[in-house]
Chain A
Amino acid sequence: MANRKKLKRILLHITIWISILIICLPLIYAVIISTRDLQGTFVSPPNLKFGSDAIETYKKAWTTVNMGRLLIIKFGSDAIETYKKAWTTVNMGRLLINSGIVAITTSVVKIILAIMAAFAIVFFDFRGKYVAFAAVFLTQLLPVPVKIVPTFELMKAFNWVDSYYALTFPYFATATGTFLFRQFFLTVPNDLVDAARIDGCSPMTFLRKVLIPLSWNNIGALFLVEFVYMWNRYLWPLIITNSEEMRVAQIGIKMLMTTGSINQWNIIMAGAIITLIPPLIVLLILQKTFIEGFVMRTGK
């Protein structure tokens, strides 16, 4: 009996390891390819040996995006030289910074707006409350493709094309976040609210001193969800930005794909891996909070 249990356990571990290997294979292969030079990607038969050119390849991925971008724009030859000098050292860095600015700003604003709206909906009785609630829900029904041409036109009218405003503002409202905080606020005992009111505590003080300190789990979870979501946006940035400086990292990968007549897989993979690291770090740090503060709550 004990032996059978042990055998079962070993089999379980083996099955899990095989699953992990299969799930991680695309990434492992990408990492391996990204450590080779271009010639190294053409080795036949393909193998899983790491190359010795890791640093070179990553450097190239960092700087090649710039080349790709310059080819797209087709400025005069002087501009190319100037741009080259100005951008070779940063470009992929610039894209990552853009992605970071967009993802962090949007996540923080979304969290703040969600807390405000949920606070109003749960702790106040006001006319139009359900209209507001329904409006928030609408955000779920109206993702980018459902209104893509007019939103683009609107950005043109605002003169926001190719700006951080266009990359962030349309995303500020969040039904996910508002519902998440609403559900959490509903679990706050009435006594706590009454006590606060009797003590002459103003609503905003109650929010600051009582609710927010209780909400850190939810805030962390929502930050993860929104950060990953925003970092990974592609369609909207593709349409709404066109200059070198405003592109984001996801688009940088596409640019690496279209640079040159053959796919330089080593460089593309290096770019992909660089771009994957920030959301992966956020996930690793916040996964526990995410599961406790988001999944358990929305999963009920």
Chain B
Amino acid sequence: MNESYFKEKILPYLLVLPSVLVIIIFLVYPFYEAFKLSFFQGGAWGTNQIFVGLENYINLFSSPKYLASLGRTLLFASLVTFIGLAISLGLAVLLNQKIKGRLFYRTAIIWPYALSAVIAGVLWALLFDPSIGLITYIVKVLTGIRINWRTNGNLAFVIITIAAAWRNIGYNVIFFMSALQNIPKQILESAEIDGASSFQSFFRISIPLITPTMFFLLIMNYLYAFFRTFGLVDVATQGGPGTSTEILTYKLYKDAFVFFDAGSANAQSVLLFVFIVGFTYLQFKYTQRGVFYG
């Protein structure tokens, strides 16, 4: 800890002021409003507000649609996280070998970091397009079945899951690689001298040593799947067919800006906040590290 301080009294306040102002005006105040208005119902957008107590919440928890969306989002986030992390860890191990062309390989694998959710959505929508998609065609050749996500909700769900997991590979690989590089070489070398196979030293040494990173990425991927996949769903499936890809943020968007049900939307916002707090709490508890998504 730095113990040498400058003595100026006013300056530090001026330095933090811009950040604090932005936070209060654009973050804390709107969230406070969302919380408050989640106990109200009213005409479209705030006219004739009527206090309804917990009714918005009760309505949500007794709505099969909301509960289905909640379950769907948890499943989606879990699949995105576990599939993404397993593949990314494998890739990071491959890239961590001493080989020629490593820098090029790394770039060729981590570039999806630059992708937006929207682009990931259109790329996979094209691959699975019912009439001209490459994957649709391959599946047809292999199985004789012509898959069509517009009529098959499960398939639509699979598509957004693959697209979301694929998009986050770059991010995961970057963090896994740096964690693997931070493992002290001596430990791995002495294990090799002691006759440990590379499998043994991977599972017995590397994996335990990168557990903090793994946990960090676990939470990051859940947050990512919850909060940064809206664009993907909106361009690829619009939540359909039916509601089979309607994740929580998509439902929130529709209730707020299509059905203009501000009371319900605010209650959904507050519930999403509860999820973030939960994830962040777990992260701090187990890794003592902040959440980083920009």
Contact = CB atoms under 8 A, between A and B. Distances in A.
B9 to A, nearest CB: 7
B277 interface: yes
B174 A149 contact: no
Given A120-B12, A135-B20, A169-B26, A235 B249 contact: yes
Interface string A191-208: 001100100000110100
Interface string B224-258: 00010011001100000000000011001100110
A212 interface: no
Contact of B28 (A15, A119, A138): A138
A234 B16 contact: no
A42 interface: yes
B166 interface: yes
Interface in A41-69: 41-46
Judged by DSSP, the binding face of A is helix
B280 A140 contact: yes
Given A275-B119, A283-B114, A299 B213 contact: yes
Interface residues of B, number: 101
Contact of B5 (A114, A123, A254, A295): A123
B126 A269 contact: yes
Interface string B164-194: 0010010000110111001000000000000
Given A149-B262, A154-B30, A253 B15 contact: no
A275 B121 CA distance: 13
A5 to B, nearest CB: 12
Contacts of B177: 291
B141 to A, nearest CB: 8
Interface in B1-55: 1-6, 8-9, 11-13, 15-16, 18-20, 22-31, 33-34, 37, 45-46
B97 interface: yes
Interface in A161-179: 169-170, 172-176, 178-179
A269 B178 CA distance: 33
B2 A229 contact: no
A13 B11 CA distance: 56
A265 B129 contact: yes
B48 to A, nearest CB: 15
Interface residues of A, number: 109
Contacts of B124: 26
B166 A26 contact: yes
**Interface SS majority for chain B:** helix
Contacts, number: 308
B125 to A, nearest CB: 8
A30 B256 contact: no
A146 B34 contact: yes
Interface in A256-300: 257, 263, 265, 268-269, 272, 275-276, 279-280, 282-284, 287, 290-291, 295-296, 298-300
A12 B126 contact: no
Interface string B108-147: 1111111111110011101101011110010001000000
Contacts of A179: 290, 292
B201 interface: no
B99 A13 contact: yes
Contact of A142 (B1, B27, B134, B235): B27
B195 interface: no
Given A228-B114, A287-B107, A46 B134 contact: yes
A211 to B, nearest CB: 12
A169 B22 contact: yes
A121 B113 CA distance: 31
Given A23-B112, A148-B265, A287-B107, A272 B256 contact: no
Interface of A: 9, 12-13, 15-16, 19-20, 23-27, 29-30, 33, 41-46, 113-114, 116-117, 119-126, 128-129, 132, 135-151, 153-154, 169-170, 172-176, 178-179, 185-186, 188, 190, 193-194, 197, 203-204, 206, 225-226, 228-232, 234-235, 238-239, 250, 253-254, 257, 263, 265, 268-269, 272, 275-276, 279-280, 282-284, 287, 290-291, 295-296, 298-300
Given A135-B20, A176-B290, 4 more contacts: A26-B124, A136-B19, A148-B34, A299-B178
7 contacts: A23-B109, A23-B166, A139-B27, A150-B29, A176-B290, A272-B123, A299-B178
Nearest 7 A/B pairs, CB to CB: A234-B231, A232-B116, A229-B294, A150-B33, A120-B15, A124-B12, A150-B30
